[in-house]
Amino acid sequence: MALTLIAFSACNNQPTSGGSFKVEGEISGAEGKVLVFEHSGLQGIQALDSVKLGANGTFSFSQPCPESPEFYRLRMGYDVINLAVDSTETITVNAAADKFATGYNVEGSDDSQKIKELTLKQIEMQNKVDVLANALQNDQIPVGVYQDSVTNIVNRYKEDLKNNYIFEAPNKPYAYFALFQQVGQYTLFDPLASREDMRVFAAVATSLYTTYPNAARSQNLYNIVIKGMQNDRRAQGQEIQLPSEAVMESGLIDISLRDLSGNVHKLSEQKGKVVLVDFTVYQSDFSADHNYMLREIYDKYHDRGFEIYQISLDSNEHYWKLTADNLPWICVRDANGVNSTNVSSYNVQSVPTIYLINRDGELHASTESTLEAAVKSLL
């Protein structure tokens, strides 16, 4: 597994304009391989130094101490070791080439040891999710079991991170590292969509900003929290305004939202198809059975010009991404949830709420009990 996680570092735990830190050690079984020492900045990865390892596998890198917390990593091929320099000037790393990213030993930095601990936990959690995903794809478990199981795994892991790494020591480098843990390609904590996740980010942002108020990373983390607070306030009391350009020629109100990859999908772009518009919440008791029912209809009629435009109103963006990643139709999310303009415009009183649109872009109300018959009639 290619581990491209980040590490948090600060020399002597206080701003400084002098001195240096050193990372040294030995990589066995790596003769002829290139070991790269990199800086992982806000703007991307920058190689600082490298060495072609000899028979004994020894290496030593030295860099000026940053004035505020920064990120560094050792990389060999696609494998990465993340380090945290805090109140130490020398870190010793010993590893075998075949277990470079997971089986290494680190001395001289308790924070780096914690980061290794987090890395191994993240891999264990991801492996459990992958097993469930494979079982789902092979029809060994139903969608509902998959969703519930993944939710339980992710939620337990987030609670572990919050209680044992972040809230316990928000001023520590490993707390910052824990904020950006992932499952798949998605971060576990999303402060822009979840009030609880925003609180987690705020704990670390406050500690970092207090010590390093002028650092770019401090300001970046602080700005993320501020944006999350603004999103939360808008969701609590948003003034509904419908732009005139959102109304299509047929009188249908257009919807324009982003999918998992950030691509914008307009409802109006589906004109010429029979479209099922579905306002739903994935993190609900009905979701699994509801999506299973939609999947049966979709598989039967998609080739005849039938499409589903499903709008998630979930507050938990991460859960939406995990679930929607396995669905074949258009999956978008309204970050404003039940307070959104789209919910108001379409008079959504409960979820799921389904509408059907004919090939001319005209709206038809429907219920699940007569849904397949309604779809067939419009096709």
Per-residue pLDDT of 34-51, as tens digits, reads 999 998 877 788 899 999
What share of the chain has pLDDT > 70, as a percent? Answer: 87
* pLDDT tens string 89-134: 799 999 999 999 999 999 998 889 999 999 999 999 999 999 998 9
Residue 231 maps to a domain: yes
pLDDT at residue 80, rounded to an integer: 95
SS (H, E, C) 239-259: CCCCCHHHECCCCCECCEEEC
Interhelix angle 371-378/287-301, nearest 10 degrees:
30
Whether the predicted pLDDT of 68 surpasses 80: no
* pLDDT tens string 168-217: 888 888 899 999 898 887 788 888 778 888 888 888 888 887 777 777 77
Confidence of residue 66 (pLDDT cuts 50, 70, 90): confident
Residue 186 maps to a domain: yes
* pLDDT tens string 251-307: 467 899 999 888 999 998 998 999 999 999 988 888 888 999 999 999 999 999 999
pLDDT at residue 197, rounded to an integer: 86
Residue 307 maps to a domain: yes
Residue 210 maps to a domain: yes
- Asked if residue 213 and residue 180 are part of one domain, the reply reads yes
pLDDT at residue 345, rounded to an integer: 72
pLDDT at residue 73, rounded to an integer: 93
Residue 48 maps to a domain: no
Beta bridge partners of 79: 76
Spatial CA neighbour of 276 closest among 312, 246, 306: 306
- Asked if residue 269 and residue 163 are part of one domain, the reply reads no
- Asked if residue 195 and residue 174 are part of one domain, the reply reads yes
- Asked if residue 298 and residue 224 are part of one domain, the reply reads no
* Three-point CA angle 274, 279, 280, nearest 5°: 125
Of the residues 219, 236, 253, the one at which a domain ends: 236
Give the list of residues 6+ apart from residue 336 with CB closer than 8 angstroms, or none: 234, 235, 238, 343
- Asked if residue 315 and residue 260 are part of one domain, the reply reads yes
Of the residues 205, 236, 267, the one at which a domain ends: 236
SS3 30: coil
pLDDT at residue 310, rounded to an integer: 96
- Asked if residue 310 and residue 194 are part of one domain, the reply reads no
Q: Calculate the average pLDDT of the chain.
A: 83
Confidence of residue 11 (pLDDT cuts 50, 70, 90): low
- Asked if residue 249 and residue 358 are part of one domain, the reply reads yes
Whether the predicted pLDDT of 238 surpasses 60: no
- Asked if residue 356 and residue 257 are part of one domain, the reply reads yes
- Asked if residue 226 and residue 250 are part of one domain, the reply reads no
Spatial CA neighbour of 116 closest among 174, 166, 187: 174
CA dist 138 to 90, 135, 146, 206, 324, Å?
A: 49, 5, 12, 46, 18
Range of the domain at 221: 118-236
- Asked if residue 369 and residue 265 are part of one domain, the reply reads yes
- pTM (2 d.p.): 0.65
Query: Which strands sit side by side in the sheet containing 58-64, from one edge to the other?
Result: 58-64, 20-28, 90-96, 105-107
Spatial distance between the Cα atoms of 202 and 170, rounded to a whole number of angstroms: 9
Q: How many CA atoms lie within 13 A of 248 on its CB side?
A: 17
Spatial distance between the Cα atoms of 203 and 168, rounded to a whole number of angstroms: 10
Whether the predicted pLDDT of 249 surpasses 80: no
Residue 267 maps to a domain: yes
Residue 306 maps to a domain: yes
Q: What CATH number is associated with residue 349? A: 3.40.30.10
Residue 370 maps to a domain: yes
Whether the predicted pLDDT of 71 surpasses 50: yes
Of the residues 236, 264, 292, the one at which a domain ends: 236
More confident residue, 324 or 237: 324
Whether the predicted pLDDT of 243 surpasses 50: no
DSSP symbols for 61-129: EEEEPPSS-B-EEEEETTEEEEE--BS-SEEEEEEEGGGTTTS-EEES-HHHHHHHHHHHHHHHHHHHH
- Tell me how many domains the chain contains: 2
263 DSSP assignment = -
- Asked if residue 231 and residue 150 are part of one domain, the reply reads yes
- Asked if residue 230 and residue 133 are part of one domain, the reply reads yes
